[in-house]
Amino acid sequence: MSPSLWAAALSGLVASALAGVRWLRVAQREHYLAPAGSRFALRWWGGIGFNRLLWVLAALALLVSLSQPAVEVVTAAVVAGGPLGLGLRGRTAKLAWTARLRRLAAIWALLQLVALAAATVVGAEAGGGGALIGLLTLFVPATVDLACLLAAPLERRLVAPYVRRAAERLAKVGPVVVAITGSYGKTSTKGYVAHLLGTTRSVVPSPASYNNRAGLARAVNEHLAPGTEVFVAEMGTYGKGEIAELCSWTHPKVSVITAIGPVHLERFGSEDRIVEAKSEILAGAEVAVLNVDDERLAAVAGRAAASGKRVWRCSGTDPSADVFVGPAGDETVPPPARPPLAGTGAGGPMWAVLVGGRPLGRVRARTEVAPTNVACAVAVALELGVPGDEVGRLLPSLPVAAHRLAPLEGSGGFSILDDTYNSNPAGARMALAALASLDCPQDGRRVLVTPGMVELGERQAGENQALAALAREVVSDLVIVGHTNRRALLAGVGASARAAPVPVAAGPARRLVDLDPEAPLPSGPRVVLVANREEAVAWVRQNLGPGDAVLYENDLPDHFP
């Protein structure tokens, strides 16, 4: 074997190792679901100008290495160092060498080593070895995806004993299981249900976002104590069959669907498929609680009732629904100038809570609370026997889910709406309405900080343009974070994607860019471009003060460009 082929093989091995760490981190952050590596590689190499140039350089070197194997070193250098901006260990989405990641890394390393060895042997005998090695280094994200596919059956088998133990524990303790799913609103509704049941029943909600097979099994095994009367299980899904499998061993009695929207549309392909996947939660349940403001869920409610299930139709717009939360005749009071920012329930407009058209009570409207989520939680509480007067007493003190339109106050005296866990169009519109409702002085600034919304499939660009167009009517400043949705957000707000960035000082070792640091767009907000959330926070702290307000809408981890 020639020295040049040896050099190509060694450089390919080193580059593969460095690239492997990078793309294994992406796989971990994307729940080990193929083809996340390939999808994000296209975003990183194809979405940012300098990375595109590096990719072209690597491809050209690959072609030359067909006859000159040593030139593969150029391809290897690009792969080892790039794409620029995607770090090895991560800043906000750090690499964690869990047991699962170590198993995946071992499978991937074996695949890559075998492929590199085969390419080297073939190249030594037939030529073109440098190009083959370079091709394998370029396509490390694809081999990581292949490793994820190969590892999936193993991981299911490893989790199976914990699932069996959880199923046995549920059977032994015997709680009523309330299962909650939806494109959004799952976590908030879970918190409301636990709150409304908490004074009369022993309740255990699944913690945080433990909403998949392994997470729910862990929640049951670690938190379900003897004497627990109700287990509230949040259920998420990335595809058909996942929720059905969860229900096969949790056996929910009451199942809730909070909403349907284009969240994870990139994975599902259509909202009809999302409805089908979410509706799996109803299959074995006796009781269905549904947000019928969505026409698709109204149809699901009809089918559920026809199949013999007891159905609670919940609404924020129709007072004749089984449970309604919203303005209704004499149950309302005139709203003040400013809804409350603290979750105390003091000083905001009132919502009526109607059950079967009759008043159950009133609840103080709050910027961080969706009325349909409250309605679903009220239905669950009443179904499980909580007295109506107790439900009414508890409604004003509903908890605020962390990072879901949570009201805070910045150190500079400005108001903060933290909606960083939200990434759906309906929630984003609600958050902008909340920002608009804040009582800022005439010269006060309203700022939107966002990277935009993701996993919306073919609707992603249009939804982000619509968000920015709506923001144009509300905010004085739009701070766009990162590159993922930058072009769409700029188009929506009416700014040119080709506008030359201007440096703005932001403290040591920071650099912010602004389309125009002195003037807003004509009859529109000033647009600020930043690379990451840390730079956005720095800009906010520099530029906002008492009387100002900022909405942090969504927060993408740093494996997004």
Instruction: Convert the pLDDT of each residue in 97-114 to its tens digit.
Output: 999 999 999 999 999 999
Q: Which residue has the tokens 């009781």?
A: 287
Q: CA 488 to CA 453: how far, in whole Å?
A: 10
Residue with the bigger pLDDT between 128 and 168: it is: 168
- The pLDDT value given to residue 13: 94
Task: Assess whether pLDDT exceeds 90 at residue 425.
Answer: no
Q: Is the pLDDT confidence value at 268 over 50? A: yes
332 found inside a domain: yes
Expressed as residue numbers, the domain containing 73 is 3-154
- Determine the pLDDT at residue 70: 84
390 is a domain residue: yes
Residue 326 lies in a domain: yes
Instruction: Indicate whether 203 belongs to any domain.
Output: yes
Sequence-ordered list of residues with C-beta below 8 angstroms from that of 477, at least 6 positions apart, any chain? 445, 446, 447, 448, 525, 526, 527, 528, 543
DSSP at 419: E
How does residue 403 score in pLDDT terms, banded at 50, 70 and 90? Answer: low
Out of 362, 378, 397, a domain closes at 397
Give the CATH number, domain containing residue 522: 3.90.190.20
What CA–CA distance (Å, rounded) separates 434 from 417?
8
Mean pLDDT, all residues of the chain? 86
Residue 134 has pLDDT above 60, yes or no: yes
- The answer to whether residue 376 sits within a structural domain is yes
Q: H-helix or E-strand containing 230?
A: strand 230-234
In sequence order, the β-bridge partners of residue 178 are 232, 254
User: Taking 80 as the threshold, does the pLDDT of residue 290 lie above it?
Assistant: yes
Burial class (CB within 10 angstroms; exposed 0-12, middle 13-18, buried 19+) of 398: buried
pLDDT at 507: 34
Query: What sign has the CA pseudo-torsion 37, 43, 48, 53?
Result: positive
Residues 41 and 59 in one domain: yes
- Quick one: 183 and 322 in the same domain? yes
Determine the Cα–Cα distance for residues 322 and 312; give it in Å rounded to an integer.
6
CATH, residue 374: 3.40.1190.10
Select the more confidently predicted residue: 506 or 394: 394
Q: What is the predicted pLDDT for the residue at 309?
A: 96
Q: Is 490 within the bounds of a domain?
A: yes
**pLDDT tens sequence across 508-554:** 333 333 444 344 444 578 999 998 889 999 999 999 999 899 999 99
**222 and 362 share a domain?**
yes
Q: pLDDT higher for 479 or 419?
A: 479
**Which of the listed ranges 30-34, 84-88, 109-113, 403-407 does the model predict with the highest average pLDDT?**
109-113
Last residue of a domain, one of 397, 417, 446: 397
Note whether 405 and 430 are within 8 A (CB): yes
Q: What average pLDDT does this structure show over 166-191?
A: 94
| CA pair distance 193, 374, nearest whole angstrom | 9
Q: Which of 25-34, 273-282, 394-403 has the lowest mean pLDDT?
A: 394-403
Render pLDDT for 428-471 as a digit per residue (tens, 0 to 9). 888 888 888 887 777 789 999 999 998 888 889 999 999 999 99
pLDDT given for residue 58 in this prediction: 92
pLDDT of residue 254: 98
Q: Same structural domain for residues 145 and 187?
A: no
Instruction: Of 68-72, 199-203, 341-345, give the range with the top mean pLDDT.
Output: 199-203
413 and 390 in a common domain: no
Same domain, 454 and 378: no
Averaged over 278-302, what is the pLDDT? 95
Comparing 1 with 273, which gets the higher pLDDT? 273
Strands 323-326 and 350-355: antiparallel
Residues 100 and 189 in one domain: no
Strand partners, 291: 314
- Interval 302-306 mean pLDDT: 96
User: Do 484 and 387 share a domain, yes or no?
Assistant: no
> What pLDDT does 495 receive?
64
In the predicted model, is pLDDT for residue 78 greater than 90? yes
Q: Are residues 366 and 425 in the same domain?
A: no
Gap between the terminal Cα atoms of the chain = 40
pLDDT at residue 515, rounded to an integer:
41
- For residues 236 and 312, what is the distance between their CA atoms, to the nearest angstrom? 21
- Based on the fold, state whether residues 108 and 206 are members of the same structural domain: no
Regarding whether 414 and 388 lie in a shared domain, the answer is no
Overall domain count for the chain: 3
Are 427 and 391 members of one domain?
A: no
DSSP result, 40-94:
HHHHHHHHSHHHHHHHHHHHHHHHHTTT-GGGHHHHHHHHHH-STT--SS-SSS-
- Prediction pTM value: 0.83
Tens digit of pLDDT for each residue in 338-397? Answer: 233 233 334 456 788 999 988 887 776 666 678 999 999 999 999 999 999 899 889 888
In angstroms, the CA 485 to CA 477 distance is 17
Q: Is residue 169 part of a domain?
A: no
Q: Of the candidates 330, 363, 397, which is a domain's last residue? A: 397
In a domain, 163, yes or no: no
Give the least confident one: 242-256, 335-349, 408-422, 423-437.
Answer: 335-349
| pLDDT at residue 342 in the model | 30
